[in-house]
Amino acid sequence: MSSTRKQLIRTSKRLGAKHSRTPRVFHLKREKVVKDSIHFMPSIFRERNRRKNVTRLLKLFLVLAVFVVLYMNLYRSVMGEERGGAYIGWVESLYWVLTTMSTLGYGDITFSGNTGRLFSMAVMFTGVFYLFIVLPFAFMEFLYKPFVEYQSGARVPKRYECGEQKHVILTHYDSISHALMEKLSQFGYPFVLVIDKLKDAQKYHDMGIPVMFGSIEDRETFEAAGIKNAAMVVATDDDIRNVNVAFRARDVDPKLPIVGTCNNPSSEDIIELAGANHVIRFAKQMGSFLARRISCTDNNTHVIGSFGEVLIAEATVHGTPLVGKQLQETTLREEYGVNVVGIWERGNFETPEATTMLNNHTVLLLAGTQTSFDKYDHDFKNFSSNSAPVIIIGAGRVGRETAKTLHEMNVPYRVIETDEKKAGMVDNSILGDASEKAVLERAGINKAPAVVITSHNDESNMYLTIYCRKLRPDIQIVSRAFLHRNVEPLHRAGADFVMSQDWMGANTIFNLLNRAEILMITEGLDVFSQKTPKSLAGVSVKDSKIRDKTGCSIVAIKGDAGTIITPSPKDEFCKNGEIILIGSEAAEKAFESKFCS
């Protein structure tokens, strides 16, 4: 690690440690320290490479000069002896050395003795080595390679051609930015990926990704990327590079929204000081999501999000009089004013129908007000309750954040961890391997209402999901997926809820594009709000045929008369109102294209 990076790390740690006790009056000083640290970094690495190449070239010429001078002196000595002590000129010496080293061999000057001949062979071998090894290396390194790079780089743009619509500037390619690109493409948002390594830029260009080659350390790169016409800059690299991106982008455009990610809590303050408007810590976000998906500790409603006074919650029906009834027979809307907007069956989401049958494994997705939920909880709280600790597998960053959220929710938990150091960082930990039945039994698998699997290894998560489902067929399993492609396999393995880190991160960043509020229910399923489109103003719910045309279901509508959580087919959409809907990403896109275009 370079001294510059070490200096920035020390500065970041020092500022992070002092953040809680440093008055606001010192913030400008702290920001100056960060900027000075970053300003020291601009072109030092490129300058160092340039000096390194020049040094290599000089060394090659120096070695050649040393050999030539050495052989010239030896030639004068050996040839002088053969000619009876005659004087040998420097021009003749240089001529003979060069013709011999280059293997031209004119034959006009030769040695007659063995000493001279052995000397000639040594000179020739040196020349051959230099001609066939050193010179080709110099040619490849300083002539051919730069030419090829120039030719290859010519097909990678060094400037982004802006259109009328504002675009998003991405500064790193990883699983999160890849998922974000998919969402941006799906909803028609232009974007460009800025890459500072030519080989990587060529690779992504060949993949069909809009890419631009340039160094994020240069102000000119952001100007060439059209930052003045950008909607957002996104930095998803390591914490130090994200600080650099935020600082450079903020220096070019003081008002542009900048989003940065961070792994360490101490880096959050530094990235903000560098210029980021939003700093996302995915471990905290993932841990909170996983904890709030646990809904089987009792029959109460568990709120997972809100849209003003409209709350979205989940509730299990296990052990209640609702089991064995069709949805139309429950009278939940009439008695409690709640709207059943979705049903979970073993991790599978279903759009509710009047004839949908409820069973002990059913989890209701409800929309309502706090008053409605309080009344619901009052009538169903005594039917079924499980106060046994929830099991968390893994005490990494996500596992610790999950435990922290459960503690805030007053839900007991136990954490299983194989690493003694990590186990010591969280309360109620059990040191052991969760793949061993004895360890799971010690953690209370036989009585636990739920198990949360937080490993960053998807293969381990799949194995543990299958194992826990076999041991407890009725337990709720909430799992983390590191990659989006493993979400469906984890569902098939038996998980009730799965969320991937890349998709959650992409969705969070995407929602910052001044869009309507969006609540992720699970992977690919959102509750979102939309201003009432002009095409729906004054149209009744029945006549709109929103579900038939888009696949979205109406959660609630807002208008001049207030909020209607359980709209009837005759209710009409208000001109200046709002519609809250639930649906997949494809359904959301279909709604925008059908009614908002």
194 shares a domain with 133: no
| pLDDT for 280 beyond 60 | yes
| pLDDT for 29 beyond 70 | no
Rounded average pLDDT over 379-401: 87
CA-derived radius of gyration, the chain? 34
In a domain, 123, yes or no: yes
423 shares a domain with 309: yes
| pLDDT for 303 beyond 80 | yes
Q: What is the pLDDT of residue 11?
A: 46
Q: What is the pLDDT of residue 244?
A: 93
Q: Are 442 and 465 in contact (CB under 8 A)?
A: no
| pLDDT for 435 beyond 90 | yes
By CB atoms closer than 10 A (0-12, 13-18, 19+), residue 310 is: buried
In a domain, 107, yes or no: yes
Q: What is the pLDDT of residue 524?
A: 72
Q: What is the pLDDT of residue 596?
A: 81
Rounded average pLDDT over 464-487: 91
In a domain, 564, yes or no: yes
**Residue 58 banded pLDDT, cuts 50, 70, 90:** confident
Residues 6+ apart with CB under 8 A from 33: 11, 15
431 shares a domain with 570: no
| pLDDT for 300 beyond 70 | yes
Residue 480: strand, helix, or coil: strand
**Residue 27 banded pLDDT, cuts 50, 70, 90:** very low
What are the angstrom distances between the C-alpha of 311 and each of 50, 117, 294, 362, 563? 60, 97, 17, 20, 12
Rounded average pLDDT over 546-557: 90
Q: In terms of pLDDT, which residue wins out, 277 or 350?
A: 277
Q: What is the pTM of this model?
A: 0.66
What's the maximum distance between 2 C-alpha atoms anywhere in the chain? 125
Q: What is the pLDDT of residue 19?
A: 39
In a domain, 39, yes or no: no
- Partners of 313 in the β-ladder: 303, 366
197 shares a domain with 100: no
Residues 6+ apart with CB under 8 A from 482: 456, 457, 458, 500, 501, 502
Instruction: Work out the angle at residue 61's Cα, subtended by the Cα atoms of residues 60 and 65, and round it to the nearest 5 degrees.
Output: 120
| pLDDT for 400 beyond 50 | yes
In a domain, 30, yes or no: no
Name the pairing type of β-strands 450-453 and 476-481: parallel
Q: What is the pLDDT of residue 23?
A: 36
By CB atoms closer than 10 A (0-12, 13-18, 19+), residue 37 is: buried
Q: What is the CATH number of the domain that holds 116?
A: 1.10.287.70
462 shares a domain with 376: yes
Q: What is the pLDDT of residue 139?
A: 73
295 shares a domain with 443: yes
Q: What is the pLDDT of residue 35?
A: 43
Q: What is the pLDDT of residue 14?
A: 45
Name the least confident of 45-54, 210-219, 570-579. 45-54
Q: Which two tokens mark 459?
A: 């293969």
| pLDDT for 108 beyond 90 | no
In a domain, 456, yes or no: yes
Rounded average pLDDT over 126-135: 77
146 shares a domain with 92: yes
Nearest to 298 by CA among 314, 310, 312: 314
Q: What is the CATH number of the domain that holds 528?
A: 3.30.70.1450
pLDDT in tens, 85-101: 888 889 999 999 888 88
In a domain, 409, yes or no: yes
Distance CA 479, CA 491 (A): 9
Q: What is the pLDDT of residue 393?
A: 96
Name the least confident of 40-44, 359-363, 364-368, 443-447. 40-44
The tally of domains found in the chain comes to 4
Q: Are 275 and 246 in contact (CB under 8 A)?
A: yes
| pLDDT for 565 beyond 90 | no
Distance CA 253, CA 16 (A): 26
Q: What is the CATH number of the domain that holds 461?
A: 3.40.50.720
Mean pLDDT value across the chain: 83
Q: Are 213 and 153 in contact (CB under 8 A)?
A: yes
Name the least confident of 110-119, 129-138, 299-308. 129-138
Domain boundary among 442, 468, 503: 503
By CB atoms closer than 10 A (0-12, 13-18, 19+), residue 468 is: buried
Name the pairing type of β-strands 278-281 and 258-262: parallel
Segments forming the whole domain that contains residue 198: 167-276
Instruction: Work out the angle at residue 416's Cα, subtended by the Cα atoms of residues 415 and 417, and round it to the nearest 5 degrees.
Output: 115
In a domain, 519, yes or no: no
389 shares a domain with 261: no
Distance CA 418, CA 395 (A): 9
Distance CA 162, CA 101 (A): 57
- Partners of 311 in the β-ladder: 306, 368
540 shares a domain with 487: no
Q: Are 556 and 339 in contact (CB under 8 A)?
A: yes
Q: In terms of pLDDT, which residue wins out, 317 or 399?
A: 399
Dihedrals phi, psi of 103, to nearest 5 degrees: 60, 25
271 shares a domain with 196: yes
Q: Are 365 and 350 in contact (CB under 8 A)?
A: no
Q: Which two tokens mark 332?
A: 């939940």
Residues 6+ apart with CB under 8 A from 236: 170, 171, 172, 174, 176, 177, 242, 260, 261, 505
pLDDT in tens, 149-173: 655 556 788 899 888 899 999 999 9
Q: What is the pLDDT of residue 216?
A: 87
Q: What is the DSSP letter of 175?
A: H
529 shares a domain with 483: no
Rounded average pLDDT over 199-214: 89
495 shares a domain with 420: yes
